[in-house]
């Protein structure tokens, strides 16, 4: 990533802007601009051929003012310490904006999981968790799956941590299989939370959700589920793209049929009755709601002036560059930022942690109802901040809500000194 798009620097700039708009002290920025703890580990793993390969791993913990750190573990060849730092910062604010009693954490291992056998992947997962175990725990730091990790990897990690502690400790990790303490509703949580926020945003700007046209960039787990849920609300899904191409039909698609086609063919491109389109064509087409659910930095300063959507719901992390944000705001596009729009995942991870800690498990209906309440409340907290500060966009408003929350906790704990100004906000709900 180029210097101007360094994720850690972007995260720090977002904190600076929110702190300034809130009129908070420099001490608040100094406390939030960098992580509290960073751990870099060398992980020796026995490969299937008997050789030993040493992998580099990280665990970064940003802030503990509201509670234990919370954030995923990713396995990827391009993992870097700056990336993990930025993701840990963002997790603090993603948790805070939906009122969760967490700080932010993130982990990563530099590896290519596609080049590892299942046995090698399990050994790496277990050795990583043993390397960082002293700083983990339900009351310290609670990891979860992220890029190229999944519920099976979380099960191995939970099992290894339980061996380290000499007792079952299901609450140390979320995103686990149901049989070992996972939560019902977790698979759809990110997409469902995004759908709730998009629905409320449409109400707020007077857009009738029934009949609203939707374009979805990225037709994987999150994108396909958002499309399906919005379709059930009465939206018309007119365009979708995946990594190999896209499909457009102004009459709309039935998402379930698209999923069947993709499962058989491997792509949505070429769906019967549709026109092939590129990702850029999808982003800039006429539609009411745009859902970026693919990679970061997709909506750039070059693309932003051509976007015609009224609402952008960021199901992906970091799909919009800072320069594009400014253009979209100037053009009247309501951007629902990633730390709000895709916070459904961490919210249901929180529900999983709560269920693990009390040993009592909710139905999927209960989980979805609690998720809806959290996401709706969070949207209106952010929207209220956005309307109250005419000079800020929704992303900055989300950071302002989050930082108000975190700074108040730091203040009452005595971390900022007696004379440091903080802004009171809502209680954890």
Residue whose C-alpha is closest to residue 148's, from 112, 118, 107, 185: 112
DSSP for 338-360 reads HHHHTTHHHHHHHHHHHHHHHT-
Separation of alpha carbons 70 and 166, rounded Å: 23
Q: How far is 228 from 262, CA to CA, in rounded Å?
A: 14
Q: What is the DSSP string of 212-264?
A: -EEEEE--SHHHHHHHHHHHHTT-EEEEEEETTEEEEEEEEE-HHHHHHHHHH
3-state SS assignment for residue 153:
helix
Residue where the block lists tokens 């903080």: 422
Sheet of 37-46: strand order equals: 37-46, 52-61, 103-110, 69-76, 141-145
Q: What is the DSSP string of 55-77?
A: EEEEEEE---SSSSEEEEEEEET
Identify each DSSP E strand in 96-139 by its residue range: 103-110
- Whether 106 is a known active-site residue: answer yes
Token pair recorded at residue 122? 């399990």
SS3 (DSSP) at 43:
strand
β-pairing, 245-253 vs 103-110, is: unpaired
∠ CA 308-314-319, nearest 5°, is 85
Residue indicated by tokens 């039935």: 254
List all residues 6 or more positions away from 198 whose beta carbon is below 8 Å from its beta carbon. Answer: 226, 230, 289, 291, 311, 313, 336, 341
Q: How far apart are the first and last CA of the chain?
A: 38
The residue from 106, 176, 236, 374 that is catalytic is 106
Q: Classify the phi-psi angles of 346: left when phi > 0, otherwise alpha if psi is within -120 to 50, otherwise beta.
A: alpha
Strand bridging mode 245-253 / 236-242: antiparallel
Among all residues, which ones are annotated catalytic? 106
């Amino acid at each position: 990533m180029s210097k101007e798009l360094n994720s850690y620097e972007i995260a720090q700039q977002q904190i600076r802007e929110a702190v300034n708009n809130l009129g908070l002290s420099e001490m608040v920025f100094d406390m939030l601009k960098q992580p509290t703890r960073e751990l870099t580990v060398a992980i020796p793993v026995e490969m299937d051929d008997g050789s030993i390969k040493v992998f580099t791993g990280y665990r970064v913990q940003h802030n503990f003012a509201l509670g234990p750190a919370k954030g995923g573990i990713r396995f990827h060849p391009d993992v870097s310490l700056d990336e993990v730092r930025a993701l840990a910062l963002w997790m603090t604010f993603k948790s805070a904006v939906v009122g969760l009693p967490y700080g932010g954490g993130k982990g990563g291992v530099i590896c290519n999981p596609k080049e590892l056998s299942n046995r090698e992947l399990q050994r790496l997962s277990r050795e990583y968790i043993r390397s960082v175990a002293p700083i983990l725990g339900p009351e310290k730091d609670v990891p979860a799956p992220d890029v190229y990790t999944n519920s099976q990897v979380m099960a191995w990690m939970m099992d290894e941590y339980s061996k380290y502690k000499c007792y079952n400790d299901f609450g140390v990790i979320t995103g686990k299989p149901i049989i070992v303490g996972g939560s019902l509703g977790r698979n759809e949580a990110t997409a469902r939370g995004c759908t709730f926020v998009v629905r409320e945003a449409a109400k707020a700007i007077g857009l009738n959700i029934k009949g609203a046209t939707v374009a979805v960039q990225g037709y994987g787990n999150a994108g396909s589920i958002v499309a399906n849920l919005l379709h059930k609300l009465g939206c018309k899904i007119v365009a979708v793209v995946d990594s190999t191409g896209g499909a457009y039909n102004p009459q709309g698609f039935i998402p379930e049929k698209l999923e069947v086609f993709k499962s058989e063919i491997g792509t949505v491109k070429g769906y019967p009755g549709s026109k092939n389109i590129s990702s850029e064509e999808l982003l800039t087409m006429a539609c009411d709601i745009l859902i970026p659910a693919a990679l970061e930095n997709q909506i750039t300063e070059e693309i932003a002036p051509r976007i015609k959507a009224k609402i952008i719901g960021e199901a992906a992390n970091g799909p919009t560059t800072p320069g594009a944000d400014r253009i979209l705001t100037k053009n009247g596009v309501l951007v629902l930022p990633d730390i709000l729009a895709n916070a459904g995942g961490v919210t249901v991870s929180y529900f999983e942690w709560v269920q693990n800690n009390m040993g009592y498990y909710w139905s999927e209906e209960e989980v979805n109802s609690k998720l809806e309440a959290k996401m709706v409340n969070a949207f209106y907290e952010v929207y209220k901040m956005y309307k109250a500060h005419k000079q800020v966009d929704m992303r900055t408003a989300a950071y302002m809500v989050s930082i108000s929350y975190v700074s108040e906790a730091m203040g009452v704990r005595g971390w900022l000194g007696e004379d440091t100004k903080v802004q009171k906000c809502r209680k954890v709900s």
